[in-house]
Amino acid sequence: MLHAMQDSPSLLRSRGLRATEPRKQVIAALSCGSVPRSPQEIFEAVEGAVNLVTVYRMLEDMEKAGLVHRHHPTGKFVLCPMPEQKGHHGFLHCVRCGKTEEFMEPALCKIENTIAKRAGFTPVSHLSAIDGHCAACR
Amino acid sequence: MLHAMQDSPSLLRSRGLRATEPRKQVIAALSCGSVPRSPQEIFEAVEGAVNLVTVYRMLEDMEKAGLVHRHHPTGKFVLCPMPEQKGHHGFLHCVRCGKTEEFMEPALCKIENTIAKRAGFTPVSHLSAIDGHCAACR
DNA sequence: ATTAGTGCAAATTCTTTGCACCCTA
DNA sequence: TAGGGTGCAAAGAATTTGCACTAAT
């Protein structure tokens, strides 16, 4: 997350997006605290410095670019800590404090592929979210 | 699913909900085709026979009762094929035709628990959805 | 200089709330 | 007949669209 905050311009450019002021601000807001945020919450976090409509459009672009992910079932957004890595990203989400961390676990992927195959499905993408209490909120 | 269609009244009553005409219609609509449906889509499926607002309230109640589940990331609703069974329910969803089936896989649960523990999380609930192409849409 | 990106205003769409009436158990 | 459910009207949120203007490359 920090790497994104420290150098959001190159992060953006590496994904084919221009490094604009609004985008840098939104990334900065998202990189604070590992908590998923809704468009409205991001808008408030930047204190209205970026238009809400722009936040919507931006998140759409950044999601396509793999820079942010939507956390389900909340539907909020988090910065992807490893945008270069392909594969199944999953979330660990604390229902008390909201802290959310992303993980990648090949073994989980493998089982999901097995389940899909068994049912005659050709898997394309996976989504998994684990809700619970984090160490601090135990 | 068929069992629900054939006897939605007892299904409803077994969960403490009254077997009303609107509810029977919504369950019938949901049990057709194993496709997740939004409140609006359900409203259209019953051809306006049930008020849209009622559909919303109903889905809320039925979800609490464990009769329907929300499918993520679409946010639409499906009838739960096994409301008696506890544990982690997951979805297999065809991105072409929309067909969605639910599964339960202890091995998946187990890995997710491991992931959570490893990160110091106490897991409370899991969500997983696999998108892909079903046998018919291959 | 180009063209992606942004802001503003306004339209849509989605979801919730309040309240009176109805119908299931 | 009592209380859970429903419909209707209306409010409130959330999300999208069009278009002119700005700014990054």
The Cα–Cα gap between A71 and A37 comes to 9
Per-residue pLDDT tens digits of chain B, which is 138 residues long: 444 445 899 999 999 999 999 999 999 999 998 899 999 999 999 999 999 999 999 999 999 999 999 999 999 999 998 887 777 789 999 999 999 999 999 999 999 999 999 999 999 999 999 999 999 998
Is the domain of B108 the same as that of B73? Answer: no
CA dihedral B88, B101, A116, A114 (to 10 degrees): 40
Instruction: Note the residue count of chain A.
Output: 138
Same domain assignment for residues A69 and A127: no
Q: Do A115 and B90 touch (CB under 8 A)?
A: yes
Same domain, A71 and A16: yes
CATH number where B49 lies? 1.10.10.10
Please report whether residue B2 resides in a domain.
Answer: no
In a domain, A3, yes or no: no
The backbone torsions φ and ψ at residue B3, rounded to the nearest 5 degrees and listed phi first, read -60, -35
With a 7 Å cutoff on the CB, does A13 touch strand C? no
Sort out which chain B residues have CB atoms less than 8 A from A119's CB and list them: 92, 101, 103, 134
Question: Are residue A54 and residue A111 in the same domain, yes or no?
Answer: no
Banded model confidence at residue A6, pLDDT cuts 50, 70, 90: low
Question: How confident is the model at residue A4, as a pLDDT?
Answer: 42
Distance CA A96, CA A137 (A): 7
Statement: residue A88 has pLDDT above 80: no
Residue B6 is predicted with a pLDDT of 52
Residues B68 and B109 in one domain: no
CA atoms of B39 and B50, how far apart (whole Å): 11
Give the B-side interface with A, CB within 8 Å: 70, 72-73, 75, 90, 92, 94-95, 101, 103, 105, 107-108, 111-112, 115-116, 119-135, 138
Nearest to B3 by CA among B37, B44, B34, B31: B31
Q: What is the SS3 assignment for A63?
A: helix
For residues A108 and A71, state if they share a domain. Answer: no
pTM for the predicted model, two decimal places? 0.92
CA-based Rg of chain B, rounded to a whole angstrom? Answer: 16
Q: At what angle do helices B52-64 and B21-30 cross, to 10 degrees?
A: 80
Give the CATH number for residue A105: 3.30.1490.190
Nearest CA in chain A to B104: A115
Looking at the structure, tell me whether residues A73 and A127 fall in a common domain: no
Q: Would you say how long chain B is, in residues?
A: 138
Domain interval for residue A100: 89-132
My answer on whether A99 and A38 are in the same domain is no
Contact list, B138 vs chain A (CB under 8 Å): 122
Alpha carbon of A125: minimum distance to chain B alpha carbons (Å): 5
Q: Are residues A38 and A72 in the same domain?
A: yes
A1-CA/C16-C1' distance, Å: 36
Indicate left, alpha or beta for A86 from its phi (over 0: left) and psi (-120 to 50: alpha): beta
Cα–Cα nearest to A58, from A34, A96, A103, A25: A25
How many CB atoms neighbour CB B135 within 10 A? 11
